[in-house]
Amino acid sequence: MFLKGKKILIAGLANKYSIAAGIAQAMTEQGAELAFTYQNERLRTNVEKIANELGHRILIECDVSSDESIKRAFDVLAQTWLKFDGIVHSIGFAPANELEGNFIDVATREGFKIAHDISSFSFTALAQASKSMLNENAALLTLTYHAAMQTVPNYNVMGLAKASLEANTRFLAAALGPENIRVNAISAGPIKTLAASGVKNFRKMLSHHSNRAPLRRTVTTEEVGNVAAFLCSDLASGITGEITYVDAGFNTAAMSLEEFKEL
């Protein structure tokens, strides 16, 4: 139980398929007390059900596109937790029209702004708003994707936003390190979640991943959750500013033996 006595806020739970659900499950198994934010009223009942099943009660609305919403959320949280030990940021969004087609044809200034605001700046905003409430030894964590490093068809402006999020992770780690607060990211392999369900041909992404990855499969939200629990625990006290891949090894292989045999 390496998170016993730790209070951690999870932002980005939408339903049971969310990566945040796997993280909540794993952190609960390790003894953490959790609080959840949800984007809007529409998602509240989903989030409430999952939180209650895991034995957690604190639910707060927080739309990260709004400074007021973020401020209100931490004011509400302070009514129960004056101090806490970590935040999981599991939020990403770009307008759907940016995620289908050739990048050069579909990229827009407005889509760029939205993707970077919701998917990268919001991590900074949560860090700023919570700074005075974080205990020494606290840990912040975000979720990124390999298209920050290497292009993936259709991921488009989200790839730019994830590259920004990864740099954000390093700059926040540098800024908060002197307070002994750590900041890390998990780069997860593709998983069929709500965010992925809006993506055309996502099944092809999954099968390509399984064909190339050394483990010859995709990863589960539970596997991502276990690494998230580790990174937010004192077991990871020497790790900050790091991007940890949980992708069955996909990013380490340029070609698999099966792909080679097909040539």
User: Whose Cβ is closer to ligand 0WE: residue 119's or residue 233's?
Assistant: 119
3-state secondary structure the chain: CCCCCCEEEEECCCCCCCHHHHHHHHHHHCCCEEEEEECCHHHHHHHHHHHHHCCCCEEEECCCCCHHHHHHHHHHHCCCCCCEEEEEECCCCCCHHHCCCCHHHHCCHHHHHHHHHHHHHHHHHHHHHHHHHEEEEEEEEEEECHHHCCCCCCCCHHHHHHHHHHHHHHHHHHHHHHHCCEEEEEEECCCCCHHHHCCCCHHHHHHHHHHHCCCCCCCCHHHHHHHHHHHCCHHHCCCCCCEEEECCCHHHCCCCHHHHHCC
23 part of the interface to ligand NAD, by CB under 6 A:
no
User: Whose Cβ is closer to ligand NAD: residue 93's or residue 112's?
Assistant: 93
Other CB atoms within 10 Å distance of the CB of residue 84? 20
Other CB atoms within 10 Å distance of the CB of residue 171? 13
92 part of the interface to ligand 0WE, by CB under 6 A:
yes
Which position among 10, 23, 27, 118 is part of the footprint of ligand NAD (CB under 6 A)? 118
User: Closest approach of Cβ 66 to ligand NAD, in Å?
Assistant: 8
User: Whose Cβ is closer to ligand NAD: residue 84's or residue 250's?
Assistant: 250
By CB atoms closer than 10 A (0-12, 13-18, 19+), residue 81 is: middle
Question: Rule CB under 6 A: which of 48-87 touch ligand NAD?
Answer: 63-65
- Of 221, 244, 9, nearest to 144 by C-alpha is 244
Query: How far is Cα 246 from Cα 224, in angstroms, rounded to an integer?
Result: 6
User: Whose Cβ is closer to ligand 0WE: residue 25's or residue 154's?
Assistant: 154
User: Closest approach of Cβ 195 to ligand 0WE, in Å?
Assistant: 4
Which position among 108, 171, 198, 235 is part of the footprint of ligand 0WE (CB under 6 A)? 198
204 part of the interface to ligand 0WE, by CB under 6 A:
no
13 part of the interface to ligand NAD, by CB under 6 A:
yes
93 part of the interface to ligand 0WE, by CB under 6 A:
yes
155 part of the interface to ligand 0WE, by CB under 6 A:
yes
Which residue type is seen at 90? Answer: S
Which position among 1, 96, 167, 255 is part of the footprint of ligand 0WE (CB under 6 A)? 96
Known catalytic residues? 145, 155
Number of residues that bind ligand NAD (CB under 6 A): 26
130 part of the interface to ligand NAD, by CB under 6 A:
no
196 part of the interface to ligand NAD, by CB under 6 A:
yes
Interface contacts to ligand 0WE, rule CB under 6 A: 92-94, 96, 99, 145, 152, 154-155, 158, 190, 195-196, 198-199, 205
Interface contacts to ligand NAD, rule CB under 6 A: 12-14, 18-20, 39, 43, 63-65, 90-93, 118, 143-145, 188, 190-191, 193-196
